[in-house]
Chain A
Amino acid sequence: MIVYTLKRLGLAALVAITVSIISFMLIRLSGDPAIALAGENATSEQIEFIRIQYGFDRPLVIQYLDWAHRALQADFGESPYFQQPVTRIIGDRIGVTLKLGVMSLIFAVAVSIPMGVLASIRPNTWIDRIALSISVMGQAMPSFWFGLIMIIVLGVWLRLLPISGTDSFAHYIMPTIALGYYGIPAFMRLTRSGMLEVLSSDHIRTARAKGLRWGKVLFKHALRNAIIPVVALAAVQLGFMLGGSIVIESVFALHGIGYLAWESIGRRDLPVVQAIVLLLSMIFVALTLLSDIINAFLDPRIRVK
């Protein structure tokens, strides 16, 4: 288990370094950063001044190492737009995004796993059909469109929920549903197909031959086995959700880092964009590592040799 964890940790570190190089390069490749920072009407002296001030004249490797070194200390420089440290700007907004992400994941899991289990124990019945329709709809509807529909119906017509902002828990309900719904189809399908496969497996027959009650067969033996691939998917899915939060935060005017990223791209606020890209990628790497470790706990074939 320790060896396994160390291996995964090493792998995660490698991925993190690669991702950091890519996010560093992305900004350099999208044009001369000094020109971008100086603005449209800058003279060539001004551009040259900025180039030296920000160190863009040094070799790329040195620039990267310097940048990475400071990034490790949570120093991403200053945002030219806000005239504030990037870390503070992001720190003010990350809470909203994390709240939205975690709530959406909980919502998606809480809906899709029970539904997937129900669909698997009653395949080809009305329950299964409903579950399938919900998942097909989830796949077919873009999340921003679903968000807008909710705003019109629940917010404008029925006036049940606030349509924008982050003041109360109620403000998070629609964004959570919109973003969570995005994850439901994949979770539900995987739960359903996993359960169907496990339920017809030999060891379930053994469990039944022991005289175990249906509940025990279903939850102790079947779900435990079926959930393993779902956990692996959860990390990937949460990554998608973090990406999706850029859209959802814009639709519901939630001031999280997704919304910030979208605005900063428009303002060419490079240090902020770069920091957000790096941060989201690191969260994703950490989640993958976490799901690997949870999976090892769930599956002794990984844990014990």
Chain B
Amino acid sequence: MKSVLEVKSLYVDLPLPAGMLHAVRNVSFHVNQGETVSLVGESGCGKSMTALAVMNLLPRKGVRRAEVLSFEGRDLMKIDDSKMADIRGNKMAMIFQEPMTSLDPCYTIGNQLEEAILQHRKVSTAEARDRAVFLLEKVGITAAESRLKQYPHQLSGGLRQRVMIAMGLMCGPSLIIADEPTTALDVTIQAQILSLLASLQQEFEMGLILITHDLGVVSRTADRLAVMYCGEVVETGTTEEVFDNPIHPYTRGLMDCIPVPGKTKPGEKLGSIPGMVPTPIGELTGCSFRNRCPSASPDCARTETRLIEISPGRAYRCLLSPEACAVEWNRA
């Protein structure tokens, strides 16, 4: 299968008044054509930063570095800003977490949709319009023609997110990054948007990076996933592997937080992970999960953790062996 995106040892640093924030640390993953890869983790673990680093849209002063950051064989660390702008919105599109504020209030939906294709393709405005109508219908918006003349404030959040998806598809990208596309929406609309994304991805054979903190969503849509904690990947593998056989205590903790049909009995208490994600500012040593980990030992503060590969594409980050992880978890 053709690889679309290859990320190896990605770091993102952000200077803050309190010190240097290491928002993303040594993150590696890849996305193949037509494949959905999920980045999962709690709020603040660096998912958005990872995505923004790939798009080269980091906040001012944010710095990224990586051993490999290549998109369709092109080294994104080396190409200049205007070449990167040629890729953005064209070959690589992003859908954001905040549909309410992600559209420009001063321009019509039509204007903003057409703009995306006029920037990259030599098409007439009429052709751009047709494309916009076609995609608005594709994302399930009725009366697409008349929507073009509407302004963002006239649309609901769900509709705006559909518009954002249509906008991402304008140039037929080979990779879509969806950063928590449903977090801001009603539960009923969440499911619609997600299945829409999945079906579009199948239809257009795009790679999809689905960022979420909802493991339920991951289990339904992702082929592979990377669990992130405090800027690092702590476990990765195919969705099946990770769900059937989670290794890292953090992954296990996350799994305990979601009800499983057939397994979770009515009235049974769901798990939760005590404590909060530490902010990775300044010098960092040892395992970042140790303060919340039920299996932590004094070693965890002293020894650097490494991502240990147990089979191709399957890895976890812990000092303990997979078996020891399981034993410790069941004891706790």
Contact = CB atoms under 8 A, between A and B. Distances in A.
Contact of B102 (A205, A213, A299): A205
Contact of B106 (A205, A208, A216, A300): A300
B88 A205 contact: no
Contacts, number: 76
A304 interface: yes
B106 A299 contact: yes
Given A206-B164, A224-B106, A211 B94 contact: no
Interface residues on A, range: 20 to 34
10 contacts: A200-B59, A208-B85, A208-B88, A209-B55, A210-B88, A224-B104, A225-B105, A298-B106, A301-B151, A304-B154
3 smallest CB-CB distances across A and B, nearest first, come from A211-B89, A210-B89, A211-B88
A210 B88 CA distance: 6
Given A212-B115, A300-B108, 11 more contacts: A202-B96, A203-B101, A203-B105, A206-B102, A210-B167, A211-B120, A212-B119, A213-B82, A224-B104, A300-B105, A301-B105
B93 interface: yes
A83 to B, nearest CB: 56
Contacts of B90: 211
B105 A299 contact: yes
Contacts of A298: 106
Interface string B96-124: 10100111111110000001100110000
Given A203-B101, A203-B105, A225-B106, A209 B151 contact: no
A221 interface: yes
A203 B152 CA distance: 11
Nearest to B154: A304
Contacts of A202: 96, 98, 101-102
Contact of B104 (A200, A203, A211, A213): A203
Interface in B111-153: 115-116, 119-120, 151, 153
B87 interface: yes
